[in-house]
C-alpha cells in the first residue's frame, strides 16, 4: 500500500530552494553534478534546472540492495564517472541518505581525486538510521524511518516513475 508523503509540488518547491542555495554558494564558479544511478535521476534533472551556474553532469552506479529493503552493508562502484574531477566543484547527488554507508564510501573515493570542493546533495535524509558518520550539505527533507518510493526511488525497481514520494507500507506481491 502506498501512502503519500510529499506531493510533486512540495518536491518541486524544495528542489527549487536547494538549487537557489547551490547557486548562491558557488556564485561565479562552475559545478559538476554527479548523480548516483538510478535513484537520483529525477532529482538530478530537476535540481540541475534550478542551478543557475555553468554546470556539467556525470553519473555513477553503486551495487544496489537488489530486492531487499536494507543495505547488505557493502558498497561497490559498478560504474565510474568519465569526468576528471581534480580541481572541480563536485556535488554528489543522491536520492536518500539512510545508513550513510553508500555516501561515506563515495566521499572517500571522490576525495582521493582531489576536487576543489566535494559536497553532497540528498533529497531525503533518514537520520535515525545512520551507521556511518556522514552528513549531506544540502538536504531536501528529513524523513522518519519508513521505506519510501517514487520520484526515482524504487522497491525492486518499481515505482521510480511516481511523480510523488510515498511510504510503502507493506510488502507488495511481485
Residues that bind ligand IMP (CB under 6 A): 36, 39, 71, 94-102, 147-149, 153
Contacted entry of ligand IMP, Mg ion, none for residue 147, CB cut-off 5 to 8 Å set by kind? ligand IMP
Contacted entry of ligand IMP, Mg ion, none for residue 152, CB cut-off 5 to 8 Å set by kind? none
- Rounded to a whole number of angstroms, the minimum distance from the CB of residue 63 to Mg ion is 10
Check 46, 95, 98, 125 and give the catalytic one.
98
- Rounded to a whole number of angstroms, the minimum distance from the CB of residue 116 to ligand IMP is 25
* CA 103 – CA 42 distance, rounded (Å): 18
- Tell me if residue 98 is catalytic: yes
Contacted entry of ligand IMP, Mg ion, none for residue 98, CB cut-off 5 to 8 Å set by kind? ligand IMP
The partner residues of 57 in beta bridges, in order of sequence, read: 33
Of the pair 27, 145, the CB lying nearest ligand IMP is at 145
Strand 138-142 relative to strand 165-168: parallel, antiparallel, unpaired?
unpaired
The angle, 0 to 180 degrees and rounded to 10, between the axes of the packed helices 8-25 and 41-48 is: 60
* Residue nearest Mg ion by beta-carbon distance: 39
Of the pair 63, 114, the CB lying nearest ligand IMP is at 63
Of the pair 39, 140, the CB lying nearest Mg ion is at 39
- CA 23 to chain CA centroid, Å, is 18
**Footprint on this chain of Mg ion (rule: CB under 5 A):** 39
Per-residue cell: 126: 533518514
Per-residue cell: 43: 532529482
* CA 46 – CA 41 distance, rounded (Å): 9
Those residues with Cβ within 8 angstroms of residue 143's Cβ, 6 or more apart along the chain or in another chain = 5, 124, 125, 126
Active site residues: 98
Amino acid at each position: 500500500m502506498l501512502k503519500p508523503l510529499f506531493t510533486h509540488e512540495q518536491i518541486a518547491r524544495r528542489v527549487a530552494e536547494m538549487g537557489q542555495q547551490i547557486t548562491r554558494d558557488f556564485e561565479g564558479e562552475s559545478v559538476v553534478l554527479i548523480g548516483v544511478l538510478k535513484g537520483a535521476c529525477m532529482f538530478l534533472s530537476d535540481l540541475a534546472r534550478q542551478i543557475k551556474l555553468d554546470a556539467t553532469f556525470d553519473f555513477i552506479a553503486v551495487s544496489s540492495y537488489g530486492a531487499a529493503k536494507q543495505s547488505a552493508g557493502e558498497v561497490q562502484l559498478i560504474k565510474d564517472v568519465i569526468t576528471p574531477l581534480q580541481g572541480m566543484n563536485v556535488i554528489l547527488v543522491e536520492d536518500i541518505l539512510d545508513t550513510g554507508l553508500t555516501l561515506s564510501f563515495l566521499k572517500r573515493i571522490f576525495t582521493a581525486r582531489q576536487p576543489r570542493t566535494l559536497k553532497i546533495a540528498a533529497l531525503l535524509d533518514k537520520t535515525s538510521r545512520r551507521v556511518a558518520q556522514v552528513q549531506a550539505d544540502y538536504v531536501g527533507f528529513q524523513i522518519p524511518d519508513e521505506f519510501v518510493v517514487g520520484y526515482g526511488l524504487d522497491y525492486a525497481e518499481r515505482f521510480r516513475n511516481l511523480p510523488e514520494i510515498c511510504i510503502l507500507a507493506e510488502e507488495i506481491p511481485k
